[in-house]
Structure 1
């Protein structure tokens, strides 16, 4: 697998591809890739001539008490997955390559970042937008692919791309799950055996909420209570949030009469996991 570490190498490779008339897809990751990332790469490979995968644990999206130092890393394993999925290039820079010591530019997408994960992680989406915009400028892809598991992130990036006039198509891809329903996540590697069993309660609680909606329940508080009740049945689970919001603007709704996002964040032991589903009337 061709792995490069500098911005100049990526730009030179992209320049040569453009001369050939190739289209370019981008999959941005923090590494320790799993089947969810693999599905993004394969989708990108099917829709573009060349695919760049960025592997970069981005320091600007981690808060002071979060897991930046311990976030799992394995570039050899990542390279094997990217090669088998058909990627053309991995961009694996150091933080010093991506950020000047005296950098002073920030990006803030107002309105979409205050709730859900943004409520407890105030620096997170600013860091996401900053690194993604830099990767867009470095790779200049035609299309970029993001998982729908990170639903708020996807909404924020779509808005940033619109507002800043990036000429890039943003494509959301379905959540990939384990056989028992747990959404694929790099942080699943942190879970102990007992915690891994307990983590299934996230998807099970969402199934309870989905069942209520499919049965005609339209009161958001009642649907949330059903989800919360299921989550509370697992002793290792500690709820961060359970929210039902408008799919477009991410504002909470009380009466469900349009397209909604049902999103949860739950601690299993010390590990924070997220999951969601969308529902359309």
Structure 2
């Protein structure tokens, strides 16, 4: 990032509230922080891995075109020690911390600002990891349930739901439960599922008639029998990414969908 690019980057333009005045930062601090605001996942993950102090001294040292060896010689600290500080392996004692920050012209307020940024994304990242772990457990449960059930009809339904990405994983699991509940109802019978015209035919013994509905409506009807909050688990196709890690989470989710598809399509080919 050069100085010209830096001029057009301001925290308020990216809707980030700083605790200190951005204009009070020195040139190098501004470049590092502006870079964080527009950082890629890889850069943010590096910050989360090594910590705020390590990230700041590493990047400002590089901006000043000083090598680890040069910094070590100037400050009379071993090169290996500098490496460990920058990699986040070790934290400096107060004396070394002060020497490094003074030489690189890094203020404590700036480190604290980056630390605020760090903790904001760390919390978000940890939540994302927990969400992925939860999904991984659920995907295994879904595949296990499908293997236990010999219904080709259910497999067809789930396969179509996954291909269309109509539901999140908890919704898919609800479809399986909903299907079983519907099959246990002696007054209702699924007559036909026609994916060519996106329709499902259900016969009602009470009304003595066949009802035709769209596949999506049919799925939703399943979910209503399972939960009053069924609508909340429908995936909004226009959902906008809300955080930096949504792409990574969506990638994981796609892998999980693929796992279901592979399981279903593999069984169908046998």
TM-score of the alignment, normalized to the shorter chain, above 0.5: no
Bigger CA radius of gyration: 2
Identify, as 1 or 2, the structure richer in strand.
Answer: 1
> Normalised by the shorter chain, which TM-score bucket?
under 0.3
TM-score of the pair, normalised by structure 2: 0.19
